[in-house]
Structure 1
Amino acid sequence: MARRAARKSLPRRIIGLIVKVVIWFVLLSLLWVGIYRFVPPPVTATMLINALDGRGIHKTWLPLSQIDPDMARAAMAGEDSKFCSHHGFDFASMKKAWKSNEQGDHIIRGGSTISQQTAKNVFLWQGGGYFRKGLEAWFTVLIEALWGKKRIMEVYLNVAETGIGTYGVEAGAERYFHHGADHLTPQEAARIAAVLPLPKKRAAIDPTGFTRRYGNIIARRMGVVRRDGLDSCLR
């Protein structure tokens, strides 16, 4: 009888343990996201992993109010033009990107929104996998609910990799143009945005080939972002 009772209680103990783990994860993730609503993330997993190559971590935090507005417009033009209108996920773009991947097409922009990229960059690690994608979705929901659009863009522009060992648009502007991100020309902002998808393989200064063409495309799209008020949530 005792053995039967033990066998019956084992599934209950496992379920109870899983429930406790889930509850603790939810509480800790809420606390983590809540803290970063007000405190700049000191370091990310991407920064630490990349630092293993000996190139260090070069970054300088700059509030969104001090970043040239053209930089946010360039990020939206290059990565997520619907940033102000979606709630973290752009399902139409995700579907389009998935179809292009299935067909083997060359994709300039992926299906991830700036909110998703921010969640991944700050709280998780690079790379695919359904488990990480699931965590990314969870943290995307949290930052959309607890941070708001301005904070999401602010954090994104400060933690995104803008070059080898370089993070954030302030460090990127200093690296490429020898001045801060508080005064960028539209072309400079577009070039930094063109680097974001592949920062280890592209450079914003004297870009050639695809990077130059993509930067020019982003510069033109920035005019649409400004004219159509697509950046209204950041004003």
Structure 2
Amino acid sequence: MARVLVRNKRGRGYLVDPGRSPLGRIMRYVILIGIVLVMLPLILLCLYRLPFVHPISTLMVKDLVTFSGYDRQWVSIDDISPTLVNSVMMSEDAKFCSHAGVDWDALNSVVSDTIDGEQTRGASTIPMQTAKNLFLWNSRSFIRKGLEVPLAVMTDLILPKRRLMEIYLNIAEWGPGIYGIEAAAQHHFNTSAAKLSARQAAYLAVTLPNPIMRNPAKPGRGLQMLARVNERRARAAGAYVGCIG
């Protein structure tokens, strides 16, 4: 690193190596940490392309660290009911097959509503939720959302749509300590992910926005109404969700 000429009050000059000063060392550490934070998700996402790698979410890590335990049984997307995939897509991200990680129109609408002080609606895509589950925390904040957007673009760029959906369905939370569609299907309906009916798939899909408060096995009137709408949309989706096939 180049040295800097510094003069004292008497006009005498001497050379100083900024890298050896406390501020210089701090800056080096900050830059190093920044590089690691950028490279780590990139490296992990490349690793997650491999079909035999079964990622876990940050919530699952938290449950392990706190000795809470969790139930998750990884299942290939080939062994998940196509109706469930359609239902989740219609509920969480209808433009999943066409966007590149972020639905910019929906996100711009949310930003505009926030600036105007209006009630906002969700704009999180499946890549955004997957990136959040894999790398970020669960509380709402502008900092987390700001990190979520570039991570979602990176996730969608590196992972094929089919693999991205497979990972999402295997790390999504469907109740306290219940992660992944196989554990959710068995816990709530005593069946496998491959054998979910259209109505069961709809109940599970509309539970995702709030899996702690919503119970797909014991749906209230509001959840039943949402499930009926979702079931009709999933049935009509057809080739619209063909990127998973």
Please give the range of the TM-score, normalised by the shorter of the 2 chains. 0.7 to 0.9
Q: Which residue in 2 is equivalent to 1:77?
A: 90
Offset, 1:80: 0.5
Q: Which residue in 2 is equivalent to 1:192?
A: 204
Offset, 1:64: 0.7
Structure 1 residues 53 and 195: alpha-carbon distance in aligned structure 2, compared to 1, 3 A threshold: farther
Q: Which residue in 2 is equivalent to 1:182?
A: 194
Offset, 1:163: 1.2
Q: Distance in 2 between matches of 1:29 and 1:50?
A: 21
Higher gyration radius (CA): 2
Q: Which residue in 1 is equivalent to 2:72?
A: 59
Structure 1 residues 84 and 209: alpha-carbon distance in aligned structure 2, compared to 1, 3 A threshold: same
Q: Which residue in 2 is equivalent to 1:120?
A: 132
- The answer to whether the 8 A contact 1:82-1:230 is kept is no
Q: Distance in 2 between matches of 1:212 and 1:99?
A: 31
State the identity %: 32
**Deviations, residues 123-144 of structure 1 (Å, cap 9, x unaligned):** 1110122332232223212211
Structure 1 residues 161 and 13: alpha-carbon distance in aligned structure 2, compared to 1, 3 A threshold: same
Offset, 1:178: 0.5
Root mean square deviation of aligned Cα: 2.5
Q: Distance in 2 between matches of 1:14 and 1:181?
A: 50
Point out the more displaced range, 5-14 or 77-86.
Answer: 5-14
Q: Distance in 1 between matches of 2:39 and 2:102?
A: 23
Structure 1 residues 16 and 48: alpha-carbon distance in aligned structure 2, compared to 1, 3 A threshold: closer
Q: How many pairs does the alignment contain?
A: 229
Offset, 1:86: 0.2
Q: Which residue in 1 is equivalent to 2:54?
A: 40
- The answer to whether the 8 A contact 1:51-1:165 is kept is no
Matches within 5 A, 1:135-214: 135-214=147-226
Q: Distance in 1 between matches of 2:197 and 2:113?
A: 33
Partner of 1:210: helix, strand, or coil?
helix
User: TM-score, normalising length from structure 1?
Assistant: 0.86
Q: Distance in 2 between matches of 1:25 and 1:165?
A: 28
The code of the aligned residue for 2:60 comes to M
- Which runs of 5 or more residues in structure 2 are unaligned? 1-5, 9-13
Point out the more displaced range, 187-196 or 89-98.
Answer: 89-98
Is 1:23 the counterpart of 2:38? The answer is no
- The answer to whether the 8 A contact 1:121-1:160 is kept is yes
User: TM-score, normalising length from structure 2?
Assistant: 0.83
Q: Distance in 2 between matches of 1:96 and 1:213?
A: 26
The code of the aligned residue for 2:87 comes to A
Q: Distance in 1 between matches of 2:139 and 2:91?
A: 21
Q: Which residue in 1 is equivalent to 2:146?
A: 134
- The answer to whether the 8 A contact 2:87-2:201 is kept is yes
Structure 1 residues 55 and 12: alpha-carbon distance in aligned structure 2, compared to 1, 3 A threshold: closer
Structure 1 residues 89 and 220: alpha-carbon distance in aligned structure 2, compared to 1, 3 A threshold: same
**Deviations, residues 167-225 of structure 1 (Å, cap 9, x unaligned):** 11111110111010012111111000011011011111131122111111111111232
Equivalent position to 1:230, from 219, 235, 240? 240
Q: Distance in 2 between matches of 1:127 and 1:5?
A: 48
- Which runs of 5 or more residues in structure 1 are unaligned? none
